[in-house]
Amino acid sequence: MNEYLDLSDEVTEALRGGRPVVALESTIISHGMPYPRNVETALRVEAAVRGAGAVPATIAVLGGRLKAGLDSGQIEALGRPRAGAEGGSGVAKVSRRDLPRVVASGGDGATTVAATMIVAAMAGARIFATGGIGGVHRGAERSWDVSADLEELARTGVAVVCAGAKSILDLPKTLEYLETKGVPVIGYGTDEFPAFYTSRSGLRLEERADSPAQVALLLAAKWGLGLGGGVVIANPVPDAHSMDAAAIGAAIETALAAAGKAGIKGKDVTPFLLAKVKELTEGESLESNIALVLNNAVLAARIAVEYSKL
């Protein structure tokens, strides 16, 4: 066990007993949704994981300690805006490069997909549920803006259940990057890569699974072969909450233009765009986001249950 890592009693007991555990990120709490919907959603996601037979392990950095398994008070503290914070919660957004700084300074941090994978692997949790992974940003041929999530997927052995990559990104380049890095992308019940708010992207996938047991067998085979790195399990947003592709595309283009005009760059881009798209869609994108996160949490728990049997 890493000396900087603390596990909750519930997560400790589950791991020791070989019970299924699902890792959950905390950026969605501090940077992905407005308060109090962020806290409400985080607690609903944990409940969804438990309802599907697994133990949730929400991951964050608190007081310089890596945490796997938070209580409701800690989740509330991550989501509630802090005095003097200009937008968001005032909690640092932490990826791989940020972990040493936040730990050494004794700070608090909400973990991205990349950082959550790192801590989940330290704890021994193989399955992770999130909303959507980061990827290659539009215009990356000029900006070189590529999410650290993709590199983490290439190096850390954790399976990520998501609704594809966020549709604010360049999805063809994101899939190409993952292919180059040898990361399997599995369409769950679909032959097409989902685009976060919508189940359709027009991008065909080579691999598909139609049951949690099928996914678990694939994961066992990959890691049993000694092949490092993660797996993307692309789970489309439920049809009832899938947004019109043309409408969400227009909102994203408008949001991207606003980000460029405002000079938003780096890790501030995604929170800005998500908030702007929410505004432009009059809240519809937020409801879609919540629905897909809950859907991913249930699938991740079911996969974790099947993987634990192997």
Cα separation of 238 and 174, whole Å?
22
Cα separation of 154 and 127, whole Å?
15
Write down the H helix ranges in 108-170: 113-123, 140-143, 148-155
CA distances in angstroms from 111 to 116, 120, 216, listed in the order given: 5, 11, 25
Q: How many CA atoms lie within 13 A of 158 on its CB side?
A: 33
The phi-psi region of residue 85 (left if phi > 0; otherwise alpha if psi is between -120 and 50; otherwise beta) is beta
Contact, 187 vs 207, CB < 8 A? yes
User: Which class for 159: exposed (0-12), middle (13-18), buried (19 or more C-beta within 10 A)?
Assistant: buried
Instruction: Exactly one of 67, 166, 267, 276 is catalytic; name it.
Output: 166
User: Which class for 173: exposed (0-12), middle (13-18), buried (19 or more C-beta within 10 A)?
Assistant: middle
25 is catalytic: yes
Provide the 8-state DSSP code for 240. Answer: G
Cα separation of 29 and 55, whole Å?
19
Give the residue numbers marked as catalytic.
25, 166
